[in-house]
Amino acid sequence: MRTIQVSDITTNIKEMCIEANHFLAKDMKEALQHACAEEKSSLGKQILGQLEENLQIASTDMIPICQDTGMAVIFMEIGQEVHFEGGDLEASINEGVRQGYVEGYLRKSVVDDPLIRKNTNDNTPAVIHYTIVSGEQVKITVAPKGFGSENMSRIFMLKPADGIDGVKEAILTAVREAGPNACPPMVVGVGIGGTFEKCAELAKKALTRPIDQHSDIPYVKEMETELLERINKTGIGPGGLGGTITALGVNINTYPTHIAGLPVAVNICCHVNRHAIRVL
């Protein structure tokens, strides 16, 4: 049994909130550089160049990548041999978010009630997903999610008869309807299977997978490749102003589902796709 102090969780999440909002993850940086080289439109190239300049200024001057510093989404993969001491785990996670957003001077965008809408003033609470895994490590993924792209996400409760073609069309429909509102070039996270809520979680988690790593399932890998090509042929382009690079990647996660259902969730993210990952 390994003991971890919850204060260590707080410290790491604080640092990760600041890191994710100021520095582009390595996989996203490389994807954006590749997009700049591949974009055929002169206007598209100009926009991508401006995005790269913005990212450079953000990292050099410690200015947030985007004014919308997101709602903190956190995935906790906890080894079953881990024991937490020193307080409540969930409280320590939210304390890390609070410290990160307050001390990092990040915009506070969370309201305490979806209808009354009074700001909590510290960007808490976070949206937290827990998974118990084997071992004695804790893997933390912090993914601040801005709502320009979040609002463009969709869930489709398809019929099994819709099949793989129906799934592809649902994904393309979500992208087309998002258009410029998701700050393209976008990253498209997809969840297929499970239930109404499970497919949405799958799609959200898919966004945190390195963009240069395809699914281990052969047919899913083929879908990721095909859909990226088809999305980039829509002509939406960087900034939604036309071009050949509309998406930087398509990541798909799948899960078993009921014989009567085929849930599909499409969680779209903007070109920065912020995420930071640490293993304790």
- pLDDT category of residue 154 using cuts at 50, 70 and 90: very high
For residue range 111-120, list pLDDT tens digits in order. 999 999 999 9
Q: Look at residues 90, 110, 145 and tell me which one is the last residue of a structural domain.
A: 145
Q: What is the pTM of this model?
A: 0.93
pLDDT, tens only, 204-225: 999 999 998 999 999 999 999 9
Question: 117: burial class by Cβ within 10 Å (0-12, 13-18, 19+)?
Answer: exposed
Q: Which of 145, 180, 213 is the last residue of a domain?
A: 145
Q: What percent of the chain is modeled with pLDDT above 70?
A: 100
In the chain, DSSP assigns E strands to 2-5, 71-79, 82-85, 127-133, 138-145, 154-158, 186-194, 247-257, 262-269, 276-279
- Residue 196 pLDDT > 90: yes
Percent of the chain whose predicted confidence (pLDDT) is above 90? 91
Residues in Cβ contact with 4 at an 8 Å cutoff, skipping those fewer than 6 apart: 82, 83, 84, 85, 138, 280
Range of the domain at 253: 148-273
Contacts with 76 (C-beta within 8 Å, 6 or more apart), sequence order:
93, 128, 129, 130, 131, 138, 139, 140
Per-residue confidence (pLDDT) for residue 173, from 0 to 100: 97
Are 12 and 122 members of one domain?
yes
Per residue in 231-259, pLDDT tens?
A: 999 999 999 999 999 999 999 999 999 99
Of 128, 145, 162, which residue constitutes the final position of a domain? Answer: 145
Residue (of 276, 58, 264, 68) closest to 168 by Cα position: 264
Say whether both 128 and 196 belong to one domain: no
Residue 198 forms part of a structural domain: yes
Looking at the fold, whether 177 and 76 belong to one and the same domain comes out as no
Question: Whose structure tokens read 């998002």?
Answer: 178
Averaged pLDDT, 155-165: 97
- Is 40 a member of any domain? no
pLDDT score, position 1: 87
Whether pLDDT at 26 is above 90: no
In the predicted model, what is the mean pLDDT of residues 181-210? 96
Tokens of 176: 């087309």
Mean pLDDT of the chain: 95
Same structural domain, 90 and 192: no
How far, in Å, CA of 260 to CA of 40, rounded? Answer: 44
Same domain, 139 and 257: no
Instruction: Write out pLDDT tens, residues 72-103.
Output: 999 999 999 999 999 999 999 999 999 999 99
Residue 275 pLDDT exceeds 90: yes
